[in-house]
Amino acid sequence: MIEVTGLTKSYGGFTAVDDVSFRCEPGRVTGFLGPNGAGKTTTMRAMVGLTPPTRGTVTIGGLRYADIPNPGRHVGVLLDASAQHNGRTGREVLTIGARTMGLPDSRVEEMLELVSLTGPEAKRRLRNYSLGMRQRLGVAHALLGDPSVLILDEPANGLDPAGIRWMRSLLKGYADRGGTVLLSSHLLHEVEQIADEMILIGRGRIVAQGDRRSLLAERHTGTLVTAEDMDALTKALDAAGLSAHAAGEGLSVEAEPVEVGRVAAAERIVLTDLRGADGGLENLFLELTADTQREGNA
Residue ranges binding Mg ion (CB under 5 A): 40-41
16 binds, among Mg ion, ligand ATP, none (CB under 5 to 8 A by kind): ligand ATP
CA atoms within 13 A on the CB side of 181: 33
Taking the complex as a whole, the smallest distance from the CB of residue 41 to Mg ion amounts, in Å, to 3
- Among 80, 151, 126, 69, CA closest to 102: 69
Instruction: List the one residue out of 27, 30, 22, 3 whose CA is nearest residue 211.
Output: 30
Give the ranges where 50-100 is alpha helix by DSSP (H): 90-100
Residue 186 interacts with ligand ATP (CB under 6 A)?
yes
Residues 6+ apart with CB under 8 A from 25: 1, 180, 197
Cα distance between residue 81 and residue 133, in whole Å: 9
How many residues bind ligand ATP (CB under 6 A)? The answer is: 11
Among 27, 37, 61, 261, binds ligand ATP (CB under 6 A): 37
Residue 11 binds which entry of Mg ion, ligand ATP, none, with Cβ cut-offs from 5 to 8 Å by kind? ligand ATP
Query: From the CB of 275, what's the least distance to ligand ATP, in Å?
Result: 28
Contact at 8 Å (CB) between 204 and 20? yes
In the set 38, 78, 122, 277, which binds ligand ATP (CB under 6 A)? 38
Closer residue to Mg ion in complex, CB, 40/203 = 40
Q: Which is nearer to ligand ATP, 28 or 186 (CB)?
A: 186
Residue 40 makes contact with ligand ATP by CB under 6 A:
yes
| 143 SS3 class | helix
32/269 with CB nearer ligand ATP:
32
List the single partner that 186 binds among Mg ion, ligand ATP, none, CB under 5 to 8 Å by kind.
Answer: ligand ATP
Asked if 191 touches ligand ATP (CB under 6 A), the answer is no
Q: Smallest gap, in angstroms, from Cβ of residue 43 to ligand ATP?
A: 7
Count the alpha carbons within 13 Å of 74 in the hemisphere toward its beta carbon: 16
User: Is 135 an interacting residue with respect to ligand ATP (CB under 6 A)?
Assistant: no
* Helical packing angle, 131-143 and 106-114, nearest 10°: 130
Calculate ∠ Cα 39-2-43, nearest 5°.
15
Stretch that binds ligand ATP, among 32-40, 84-92, 142-150, 168-176 (CB under 6 A): 32-40
The enclosing H or E element of 230 equals helix 230-239
- CB of residue 249 vs Mg ion: minimum separation in angstroms? 24
- Is 84 within 8 Å of 139 (Cβ atoms)? no
289 scored as a contact of ligand ATP (CB under 6 A): no
**Does residue 31 interact with ligand ATP by CB under 6 A?**
no
Per CB under 6 A, residues contacting ligand ATP are 11, 16, 34, 36-42, 186
